């Protein structure tokens, strides 16, 4: 029954703030999920028939239910989680608050909440990286999410820098893009983004120009932006588009490749070695390759190459971060991404790409695992991803900091 029978709002309104000398205070929002199978991390064995207790947005306890009996006040809200599976909240390390997110400062909270649910929270995302949108718009959206007005994930944001004359054909020509012609300009743009409160930088080291040749960013320009970001302990993503863009990104020291490069067929041995050595992370965005051409054979080739590239880096121990480019693409459903990734890696590795890999890579030490004192960022699933990776997408509840931000109708 979970929250359904009583309704979460009613449950919470019935909850009084209780304290006793010996026990912890029970606050509004505290709850316990009882009877679930909990995967504390991608490498831990599951805890069967577990009780997971949440207090003040943090995980208070997680253990087999029999061990926690009578240890906590009865006033805590109990939720029946029998037949459910609980994993840590997901990260989507490549999204855009672009298409359909216009005027986030003034749009109705209801409309924003509905779009947030459709695009992100119903798929389990509690933390996302916006890799390029109108920065002030995303900052306004982030503020409305953080105020509690719009239920949504934690939003990190990267500011875009394009190469000179590198306005990608898929972006509206009237859109003003920051193009850097020199290292000095790139450094200035990077500084400005970080001063605005953005969390990272994204470089278009390859800009797609349609029938004309891809415009690449020179390594010296890449390096100038990377140096500014790294001086501030910030990370740099790259949209590389092709081999030259990838090699310039790696030579300039970027941290994360925002896509595979399926038009090139594979990464070279030198690229893979350099990525490994520099601890570069890779975001596969495999579903994206099903959307870029109408030709089924070309699509199949791109997807196959993307999977092969993912497999080649993953098998060498490379860090993989889950990401889908939603908000640029309108395909929000994550099932296909899980299915394609499973051709290259196991379900536990996919779970790592959703949880521990990003929390480690982005140094979010209170996220990514289910353990005492960690943030109560949780996904409650209706199926076990160990049995079928499609179950990663069967989300019953998405919980961020102990607050339900999505509940399956
Ligand atoms: Zn993107």
pLDDT tens-digit map of 201-259? 999 999 999 999 999 999 999 999 999 999 999 999 999 999 999 999 999 999 999 99
Residue 33 C-alpha to ligand 1 middle, in angstroms? 36
| The token pair that represents 90 in the structure block | 């997901």
121 three-state secondary structure:
helix
Whole-number Å distance, alpha carbon 318 to ligand 1 midpoint, is 21
Per-residue pLDDT at 7 exceeds 80: no
Cα of 329 to ligand 1 centre, how many Å?
8
- What pLDDT shows up at residue 54? 93
Distance 63 CA to ligand 1 centre (A): 39
The whole-number pLDDT of residue 240 equals 97
Report pTM.
0.93
How many H-runs (helices) and E-runs (strands) does the chain carry? 12, 19
Q: pLDDT category, 26, cuts 50, 70, 90? A: low
Residue 344: pLDDT over 80: yes
Mean pLDDT across 105-117: 97
State in Å: Cα 369 to ligand 1 middle.
Answer: 26
Would the pLDDT of 16 be above 90?
no
Q: Are 408 and 402 in contact (CB under 8 A)?
A: no
Instruction: Please tell me the distance between residue 240's alpha carbon and the centre of ligand 1 in angstroms.
Output: 11
Residue 139: which pLDDT band, with cuts at 50, 70 and 90?
very high
- Residue 278 CA to ligand 1 center (angstroms) comes to 22
Given a cut of 70, whether residue 292 has pLDDT beyond it is yes
Distance 161 CA to ligand 1 centre (A): 13
| Sequence-distant (≥ 6) Cβ neighbours of residue 384 within 8 angstroms | 37, 85, 391
pLDDT of residue 89: 98
Q: Which long-range contacts (CB under 8 A, 24 or more apart) does 395-399 make?
A: 395/122, 395/123, 395/124, 396/2, 396/84, 397/2, 397/3, 398/89, 398/121, 398/122, 398/124, 398/125, 398/126, 399/54, 399/89, 399/126
Q: What is the per-residue pLDDT for 74?
A: 59
How much distance in Å is there from the Cα of 327 to the middle of ligand 1?
Answer: 8
Ligand 1 centroid from CA 171, angstroms: 11
Section 373-386 average pLDDT: 98
Partnered with residue 64 across adjacent β-strands are 50
d(CA 256, CA 361): 10
Q: Which residue has the higher pLDDT, 73 or 324?
A: 324
Q: How far is the CA of 9 from the centre of ligand 1 (A)?
A: 36
Averaged pLDDT for residues 113-125: 98
Give the pLDDT band of residue 34 (cuts 50, 70, 90): very high
Q: Does 390 score more than 70 pLDDT?
A: yes
Ligand 1 centre from 238 Cα, in Å? 10
- pLDDT of res. 78: 84
**Residues contacting 305, CB < 8 A, separation 6+:** 260, 262, 263, 264, 265, 266, 289
Task: Reply yes or no on whether the pLDDT at 8 is more than 60.
Answer: no
Sign of the Cα torsion 266, 269, 272, 275 reads negative
**Residue 187 CA, ligand 1 centroid: distance in Å:** 22
Cα–ligand 1 centroid distance for 311 (angstroms): 21
Torsions phi, psi for 55 (to 5 deg): -140, 125
pLDDT score of 355 = 98
């Amino acid at each position: 029954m979970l929250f359904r029978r009583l309704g979460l709002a009613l449950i919470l309104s019935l909850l009084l703030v209780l304290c006793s000398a010996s026990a912890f205070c029970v606050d509004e929002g505290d709850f316990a999920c009882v009877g679930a199978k909990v995967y504390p991390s991608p490498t831990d064995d599951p805890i069967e028939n577990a009780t997971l207790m949440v207090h003040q947005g943090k995980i208070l306890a997680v253990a087999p239910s029999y061990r926690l009996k009578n240890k906590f006040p009865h006033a805590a809200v109990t939720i029946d989680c029998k037949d459910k599976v609980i994993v840590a909240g997901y990260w989507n390390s490549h999204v855009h608050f672009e298409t359909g997110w216009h005027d986030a400062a003034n749009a109705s909270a209801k409309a924003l909440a509905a779009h947030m649910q459709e695009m992100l929270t119903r798929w389990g995302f509690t933390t996302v990286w916006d890799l390029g949108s109108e920065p002030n718009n995303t900052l306004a959206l982030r503020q409305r999410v953080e105020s509690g007005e719009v239920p949504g994930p934690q939003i990190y944001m990267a500011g875009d820098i394009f190469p000179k004359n590198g306005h990608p054909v898929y972006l509206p020509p009237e859109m003003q893009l920051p193009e850097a012609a020199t290292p000095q300009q790139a450094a200035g743009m990077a500084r400005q983004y970080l001063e605005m409160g953005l969390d990272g930088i994204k470089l278009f080291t390859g800009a797609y120009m349609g029938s004309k040749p891809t415009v690449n960013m020179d390594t010296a320009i890449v390096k100038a932006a990377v140096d500014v970001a790294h001086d501030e302990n910030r990370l740099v993503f790259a949209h590389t588009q092709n081999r030259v863009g990838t090699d310039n990104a790696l030579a300039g020291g970027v941290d994360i490749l925002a896509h595979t490069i399926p038009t090139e067929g594979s990464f070279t041995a030198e690229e893979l070695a350099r990525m490994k050595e520099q601890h570069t992370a890779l975001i596969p965005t495999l579903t994206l390759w099903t959307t870029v051409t109408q030709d089924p054979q070309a699509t199949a080739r791109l997807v196959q190459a993307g999977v092969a590239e993912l497999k080649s880096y993953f098998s060498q121990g490379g860090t993989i971060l889950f990401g889908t480019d939603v908000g640029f693409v309108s395909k929000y459903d994550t099932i296909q991404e899980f299915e394609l990734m499973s051709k290259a890696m196991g379900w536990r590795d996919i779970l790592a790409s959703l949880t521990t890999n990003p929390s480690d890579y982005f140094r979010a030490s209170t996220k990514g695992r289910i353990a005492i004192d960690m943030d109560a960022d949780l996904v409650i699933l209706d199926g076990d991803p160990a049995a079928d990776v499609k179950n990663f997408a069967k989300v019953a509840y998405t919980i961020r900091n102990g607050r339900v931000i999505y509940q399956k109708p």
